[in-house]
Structure 1
Amino acid sequence: MTEATLARARAGDGEAFRELTQPYRGELHLHCYRILGSLTDADDLLQETLLAAWRGLDTFAGRASLRAWLYRIATNRCLNALRDGRRRVPAEPVPPFDPPEPTRRGETTWLQPYPDALLEQIPDADPGPEVRYHGREAVELAFIAALQQLPPRQTATLVLRDVLGYSAAEVADMLATTETAVKGTLQRARATLDKRRGDVTLARPGSAEERDLTRRFADAFTADDINGIVSLLTDDAWLAMPPAPHEYHGPDAIVAFLRASTAWRPGRPFRLVATRANTQAAFGWYLPDRSRPIAHPAGLIVLTPGPHQIHAITQFLGNDLPLRFGLPATLTW
C-alpha cells in the first residue's frame, strides 16, 4: 500500500480502492466462511465488508495495517449477521422418499462446502508465532463444522488468534474488548473445539491412498453397489446431509438410508463429477431424468477419507452447489 494510492482512494477513486483491497479479498472471503460456515453468506459478507471499508476509509488511521483493519470490519460484520439473523439459512428440505429414522438430528444444518479452486487463489501468508491451526487443518470440513458449534465471539476469537495469528492485543482491539477477555474466550473456545473435532487421521490430499478410495467410492456409488460403499467405511463412519438435519452413524444406519434412496429411483443410478472441497475429495452429484438421457445437479458430496477407509460422507443438498464449483449444469450420456 502506498500513501498515494490511499489518498486517491480516499478522494473517491474506485480503481485505487480496488488496488488497495484486491490482495485481501480472497482471504477475507475465507475468513467470513470460517465464521459463518456458508459459502453463500461469505459472498454477502465480503461485499458488506468492502462497502463498509469504502465508506469508512477516512477512519483508517494507519495505526494497524490495512489488512488488520479489513479483518476487523469483516469479523464484526459477520458477528452482526449472526446476531441479527440476517443469514440465508435454507429451510429444511423434504425428502422425496421416506428415509429411515436417523441416528440423530444434527445441530449444524447451514454448513456448505468451500471450493479448493478458491483456496488456491489465496496467497500464502506468514502465519506468525500465534498460529495453532495451519493451512489444510484450518479449512477441513470437520474444523469448519466444529466452529459452528461455538458461540459466535468464541469462533471469531479462535479464528483471529489460532488461525490467523493475531496477538491478543490486536484481537481485543478488533472486537472492542480487553486482552483478559480475549484470553478467557479463547481458552473456552479451544476446550470446546478439541472435544467436538475428535481425533481422525485423514489421507494426504492427492495421495495414492486418497485417489484409490475416491475411485472405488465413485464406482460403487454410481453402480448403486451398497455393499461396495459399506466396505469402504470405517466402523464409526457417518453420513450427513446439510441442510437436512438427518445424520446416520455406523454402516448399518448408512445401509438403511442408501437402500431407501435406491428403492425410490430404481434404474436411475447417480452420476458423479470429481472436484475438491475443503481440501478433501468431492463430487458434483447428479440425478438422472426419468425420461431423457440427462442428469440434473442434486448437490455436492464431500468425502472424509482416512489412510485406508472413509470416515464420513457429507451429502450437501442444493442443485446450485455444483455450479459454484465450476461443474456443468447438466450431464448427458
Structure 2
Amino acid sequence: MVEEAERYRRELHVHCYRMLGSYTEAEDAVQETMVRAWRRAETYEGRSTYRAWLYKIATNVCLDLLAKRKDVVLSEAPMSDVPWLEPYPDDQLPEELAVARETIELAFLAVIQHLPARQRAVLVMRDVLGWPAEETAQALEMTVASVKSALQRGRGTLRKHLPERRSEWAAAVEPSAEEKLVLKRYVEASLKADMGTLAALLREDALQAMPPSMEFFPGRRAILEMWAPVMSGQEAWGEWRALTTTANRMPAVANYVRRPGEEHFSAVNLDVLRIEGGLIAEITTFPPATLASFGLPEKIFE
C-alpha cells in the first residue's frame, strides 16, 4: 500500500501546492498525507479509487494547515497580498499529467489563496481535478448544494481578478517561442543595464510583486524607478549573470551579481514573467532561497 501511495506523490504535491500556494508547505503536506494514508490503510474500502482516496486525505491535510493561517484581504494586486507564494519548477511537474498553465500559473494561485479554504478546495476539485459535485461533497463533508454554491462564488472571484486574456493561453504547457524571445531580450537588456530596452519590453500597466516582502510596483514607471539604482549609476550593485529556466509554465530567470572585489556571482532573485502580446505584463520576483527547488546554484564561479 505504501508503494501504491508513492506512485501519486508528485501529483499530490501539485495538488497541495495549488491549495497552499507554497512549494515548501506542499512538501510537508504530502508527507503528512503519506503518513495518514499508512495509518488509515484499513479504512480504505474501495468505494472510490485509491487515487481519489489519497486526494481526499491530501485535501483535508491542506484544510488543517489553512485553518492555522490568517485570512488575507483580496486587493487589486493579489500577488502582493500572499507572502507565502512560491514558484513551482516546471521540470518537477508530473509527466503523466498534462498540467495546463491556467491551473498552475501564479496569477491563478494568488487569487485562489484569497478564497475561503473550503471554497478553494471545491474550486480545485471541481474545475481542476474534474470531480463530480457528489464526490466533492462527500470528500469535503458538504452538501451538494453547498458545493455548487461555493463553486459559483469561487468562479466569480476568478473572473473578476484574473487577467482578461488568460483564456487565450489556457492550454499552454510550456512557454511559447514568442515568450522565450522576450525572455532572451529581457536577460540581455538586464545584463547590459539597458534601461531603454527594458522599458520597451514592459507594458505600460505592467506589475511587479516581490513575495514575501509584500512590495508591489504598479506600472512601467514605478518598475523602472525601482530598477535604475540597482542596475546603473553610482548605486549599481556590480556585474550581472543570469540562468534561464521555467516556472509555473512561464519563462523565468535566476539573477546573480558579482559585487566589486568579489570572485563569484551570488544569487539575487528569481524573476517569473507573464508575457502578453510580446510584452511583459507581470513580473513576480522571488528571493534566492527559492532557487534550491530548481536545482540552481547559490553562487556562480568563473
Tell me, yes or no, whether TM beats 0.5. Answer: yes
| In structure 2, distance between residues paired with 1:264 and 1:105 | 31
Aligned residue number for residue 53 of structure 1: 37
Percent sequence identity is: 39
Aligned-pair distance for 1:237?
0.6
Aligned-pair distance for 1:265?
4.6
Aligned residue number for residue 102 of structure 2: 137
TM-aligned CA distance change 1:312 to 1:182, over 3 Å: same
Give the one of 123, 139, 154 matched to 1:174.
Answer: 139
1:141-220 pair list within 5 angstroms: 141-200=106-165, 205-220=174-189
Give the one of 124, 135, 146 matched to 2:97.
Answer: 124
Which runs of 5 or more structure 2 residues have no equivalent in the other structure? 71-76
The answer to whether the 8 Å contact 2:255/2:267 transfers is: yes
The answer to whether the 8 Å contact 2:258/2:266 transfers is: yes
Structure 1, residues 128-166: CA drift from partner, whole Å, max 9, x if none? xxxxxx722111111111111211111111000000000
Aligned residue number for residue 6 of structure 1: none
Aligned-pair distance for 1:267?
5.4
Aligned residue number for residue 307 of structure 1: 277
The answer to whether the 8 Å contact 2:21/2:110 transfers is: yes
Aligned-pair distance for 1:209?
1.2
Aligned residue number for residue 73 of structure 2: none
2:81 is paired with a residue of what secondary structure?
A: coil
One-letter amino acid of the counterpart of residue 23, structure 1: R
Structure 1, residues 93-145: CA drift from partner, whole Å, max 9, x if none? xxxxxxxxxx99921121110000011x34127xxxxxxxx722111111111
TM-aligned CA distance change 1:153 to 1:231, over 3 Å: same
TM-aligned CA distance change 1:68 to 1:292, over 3 Å: same
Equivalent residue pairs, number: 291
Aligned residue number for residue 44 of structure 1: 28
Moved more, 239-248 or 207-216: 207-216
| In structure 1, distance between residues paired with 2:87 and 2:298 | 18
Match status 1:284 vs 2:254: yes
One-letter amino acid of the counterpart of residue 268, structure 2: A
Aligned residue number for residue 240 of structure 1: 209
1:81 is paired with a residue of what secondary structure?
A: helix
Give the one of 265, 286, 289 matched to 1:316.
Answer: 286
One-letter amino acid of the counterpart of residue 53, structure 1: A
Structure 1, residues 148-195: CA drift from partner, whole Å, max 9, x if none? 121111111100000000011111111011111101111111101111
| In structure 2, distance between residues paired with 1:111 and 1:307 | 26
One-letter amino acid of the counterpart of residue 272, structure 1: A
Give the TM-score, by structure 1 length. 0.82
| In structure 1, distance between residues paired with 2:79 and 2:292 | 28
Which runs of 5 or more structure 1 residues have no equivalent in the other structure? 1-8, 10-16, 87-102, 126-133
Runs of 4+ in 1 over 6 A off after TM superposition: none
| In structure 2, distance between residues paired with 1:72 and 1:264 | 56
Match status 1:115 vs 2:89: yes
One-letter amino acid of the counterpart of residue 117, structure 1: D
| In structure 2, distance between residues paired with 1:224 and 1:310 | 17
One-letter amino acid of the counterpart of residue 293, structure 2: R
Structure 1, residues 268-310: CA drift from partner, whole Å, max 9, x if none? 1432101100000001222324422311222211011123111
Larger Rg: 1
Aligned-pair distance for 1:62?
0.8
Give the one of 68, 71, 93 matched to 1:84.
Answer: 68
The answer to whether the 8 Å contact 2:273/2:284 transfers is: yes
| In structure 1, distance between residues paired with 2:88 and 2:165 | 20
RMSD (Å) for aligned C-alpha atoms: 2.1
Aligned residue number for residue 70 of structure 1: 54
The answer to whether the 8 Å contact 1:239/1:313 transfers is: yes
| In structure 2, distance between residues paired with 1:229 and 1:293 | 28
